[in-house]
Structure 1
Amino acid sequence: MKNFILLIVLLTVLHSYGQAYEEQNKLWSLEECINYAIGHNITVKNAELTKNSSELNYAQSKSSRLPNLTGSASQNLSFGTTIDNITSDYVSQTTNSTNLGLSSSVMLYNGNQLNNQVKQNKLVVDQSTLYIKESKNSIILNVLESYIQALYTKENIMIALRNLESSEKELEQAKARLDAGTIPMVDYTDAQSQAATNKYNLITAKNNYQQQLLVLKQLLELPPEQSFEIDTIKNYTESLLIQDKLEIYQKALEVLPEIEATEVGVDISKKDLEIAKGGFLPSLSLTGSLGSGYTDVQDMNFSDQLDFNFNQRIGLSLSIPIFNRNQTKTQVENAKINIRKAELQLETTKKELYQKIETAWQNAISSQEQLLASKSARDATKESYKLAQKKYELNALSTTDLVVSQNTYTNAEINYLQAKYLNILYSQLLQFYQGNPIKID
């Protein structure tokens, strides 16, 4: 039995260790980063709380159309000559009385203000839902940009590492030739300088990557103690097909929440106007009450008095606005101004969206052209560098010329990397603006 228990404990420990190891060595994909950021972002959580509050206000406004019900009870002790509040007689003695009652009222009509308030609060709920989506979209874009920047810096490490390995090998060759007396000292020092420079570049590339990982980790709001590493792109294909920017814009108007949220804002302002206009109209309410009481002045027991003094009341109350110092008129005019402001905000939101799409579209076109040009330059300088290495091995090329060839190839590779990841970024942005999911394999 003891062995069985020990086995269970051992398996549990190994399982927990395995999970911890897997978590520590996890490679985060873009999709995982986005999902985690959305689930843990404080801005999104605040937007969700705002929606919860607007839902409560909506439920409360619907309840405002229902009758209220209030119960009351009082116990009174009177001295001297007073009016008995049950019999309405003058008495000159100490009296003890009890009053019990129920009252209710309901608004039958108030210029349709209650109904319009309910409709407006429903619009506020809809708008708060759209604000949540907008907050999530903002997080998605921030994570996308940061993730792609991290991928770029990560791939720069591979370039820097390859350059360092090549320059160290060339330094060994230069040392052997210097010892053999086939090259001057200046060629050897050039090789030393290039190796040292490449080592520095590798350190810088690693630091840039760690800095970008830190930015992304903070954006995800991961705990400080958690390790974090991103996955690489395994199936990269160049995005060369770009739709017309007006088509993208028209699609964005249909799917992006910030546009719909601003449109709902216009509708909310229009409801404000209807509510304000309701102030010009009469209001009608229905009231009713039940009551009874007991007093020691009457020569009846408590229960008999409650039956005898039981009373009921029902009434209608009509309020007709005649003049309220132009308060309603001012509210109506302010509501009209707010409608116009909301309409201008909608125009501004649409213009800003078009500017974002136009900028992303132009950058996508430019990055596409840069990608094709830099790819050709990279391939050409790569072949040139290979030839330079062969010449250097045959002692037919100076160290200085080899360094120039390597630097030219490195610059071409970096230019290609920049164009590659800009192409990914802006093509994904254009997909996002059309409501398509962001995905990088």
Structure 2
Amino acid sequence: MKNIFLIVLLFSLCLGVQAQEKWDLKKCVDYAKEHNIALQLKKLEADVQTNNTKQSKLNLLPSLNGRTDYGFNYGRTLNSTNTYSDQNNESGSLSISSNLTLFDGFKKRNELKQNELDLQATLEDVEKAKEDLALNITSYYLDILFKQELLQVAKDQLKVTQLQIERTSVLVDAGTLPKGTLMEQKAQAAQEELTVVNSQNNLDLSLLDLAQLLDLEQTADFKISIPKLPVLNAIQSMIDPESVFENSLKSRPGIKAANLRLESSMKGLSIAKGDRTPSLSMYGFWGSNYSNDFAEYEFLNGQPNLVRNEMKLSDQLRSRERKAFGFQLDIPIFNGGVVNRNISNAKINIDRSRLNLDNTKNILRKEIQQAHANALAAMKKYFSSETAVSSTEEAFRYTEEKFNLGLVNSVEYNQGKNNLLKAKSNLLQAKYEYIFRTKIIDFYNGVEISL
């Protein structure tokens, strides 16, 4: 009894694991945001710009550098008496220096602001890449749902034909219908079986396409969950495209990035103009040195008098130390026209950024207008397809009744059924196209894509 219980428990767990393997749209999008290589490259660009911004902040701080060296001299050497002699000696030095820019025409501060703007623009590029990826995944996801329903329609049609074959067999055996009618029905069933196979293959390929878009290593068992689809109506697709455009100007990452890059180019002009102004810096220095042949002398009547012929390292560093402190003013006068060239190029960059912003807005406006037109067309197609299916179903029902009474032949019957299959397929295609087009309108209107 315990063994049976364990088997049932394990079987239930396996079913639970299999159920968890189904991917909904949110899971697909979240996974792609973490693993998509193109998106990861965009994030790395943002990381580089983050480092540039941090460096701009550190550039405002004073510099501090230390230096030391130790060397060996052979042959004729200038000694402590300021004369040359043949000897070998060892010497070294130690120094620390610092420099702080007090004023540079606000170049460093403008460089910091420019890097901050460039960082924000790069982060908006990442957001745009995420949204484009989500929209692409939604298209693939809806295509799978469409293929699944299309497969089910094909299976339902085949089931109807198989039931009709059973009824026709009874009528043929009773002598009511000729045997040729049964053969025609079986030929129709064979054709519909091929349609089912083709529909299944198309579904499998669509699943593979989405799995590959997600960069999954294992694609054989990839399945998606079937969501509750939104109610289709004409409200969202009838939103005025101009109002959608105005909302998009406030929310679209591409527009934000273009605006930020325009501001960045203006900071670039300020940086270039900063080279025209004088710069003031403050510096400080401490240093000392050591030599193993250093001797301390005092001069009496112009002649050196040895006081000590050897001095310890600590004493030398203390007695021979050098200190400096001061200010440095650099005044640009003429540098081959480099400053004027940089200012001129900075102005060109502003014009380029402004044109890029205008072009981005124009592209966005056209995309929204096209999306609105596509949504309207999809809406009309969907509702027309609904009417067509309703009419075709009624016509087929009438044909089927006449066929059962022997008033029409199997050719007319199969033609009616094929017309119904085509109408249902057209309806499904229109349905998912309409859903996708309304999702695009939502996307431009700042609504997160979801099912």
TM-score (norm 2): 0.88
Residue identity matched to 1:283: S
Distance 1:405 1:282, change over 3 A: same
Residue in structure 2 matched with residue 150 of structure 1 by the alignment: 144
RMSD: 2.4
CA shift, 1:16, in A, is: 11
Residue identity matched to 2:124: L
CA displacement, residues 98-132 of structure 1 (integer Å, 9 cap, x when unaligned): 32211111222222211111111111211121111
TM-score (norm 1): 0.90
Does residue 102 of structure 1 match 2:96?
yes
Q: The residue matched to 2:65 in structure 1 has which SS?
A: strand
Residue in structure 1 matched with residue 82 of structure 2 by the alignment: 89
* 8 Å contact from structure 1 (residues 131, 261) kept in 2: yes
Residue in structure 2 matched with residue 40 of structure 1 by the alignment: 35
Please point out which of 289, 292, 308 is paired with 1:293: 289
Structure 2: 5+ residue runs without aligned partners?
Answer: 296-307
Q: Distance in 2 between matches of 1:113 and 1:274?
A: 7
Q: Distance in 2 between matches of 1:75 and 1:410?
A: 92
Q: What number of residue pairs does the alignment pair up?
A: 428
Distance 1:325 1:15, change over 3 A: farther
Please point out which of 29, 49, 60 is paired with 2:55: 60
Q: Distance in 1 between matches of 2:359 and 2:284?
A: 52
Q: Distance in 1 between matches of 2:399 and 2:410?
A: 10
* 8 Å contact from structure 1 (residues 371, 419) kept in 2: yes
* 8 Å contact from structure 2 (residues 211, 219) kept in 1: no
Q: Distance in 2 between matches of 1:360 and 1:424?
A: 12
Residue in structure 2 matched with residue 171 of structure 1 by the alignment: 165
| % identical equivalent positions | 30
Residue in structure 2 matched with residue 211 of structure 1 by the alignment: 205
Q: Distance in 1 between matches of 2:222 and 2:198?
A: 19
Residue in structure 1 matched with residue 304 of structure 2 by the alignment: none
Does residue 198 of structure 1 match 2:192?
yes
Residue in structure 1 matched with residue 349 of structure 2 by the alignment: 338
Q: Distance in 2 between matches of 1:88 and 1:72?
A: 27
Q: The residue matched to 1:280 in structure 2 has which SS?
A: coil
Residue in structure 1 matched with residue 121 of structure 2 by the alignment: 127
CA shift, 1:370, in A, is: 1.6
Please point out which of 411, 414, 430 is paired with 1:403: 414
Distance 1:34 1:93, change over 3 A: same
* 8 Å contact from structure 2 (residues 280, 327) kept in 1: yes
CA displacement, residues 334-361 of structure 1 (integer Å, 9 cap, x when unaligned): 1111111111111111111111111111
Residue identity matched to 1:116: N
CA shift, 1:168, in A, is: 1.9
CA displacement, residues 6-46 of structure 1 (integer Å, 9 cap, x when unaligned): x9xx99xx779936861466332222221222121112211
Distance 1:226 1:199, change over 3 A: closer
CA shift, 1:180, in A, is: 4.1
Distance 1:282 1:257, change over 3 A: same
Does residue 239 of structure 1 match 2:229?
no
Q: Distance in 2 between matches of 1:327 and 1:403?
A: 83
Residue identity matched to 1:89: N
Q: The residue matched to 2:224 in structure 1 has which SS?
A: coil
Q: Distance in 2 between matches of 1:114 and 1:282?
A: 14
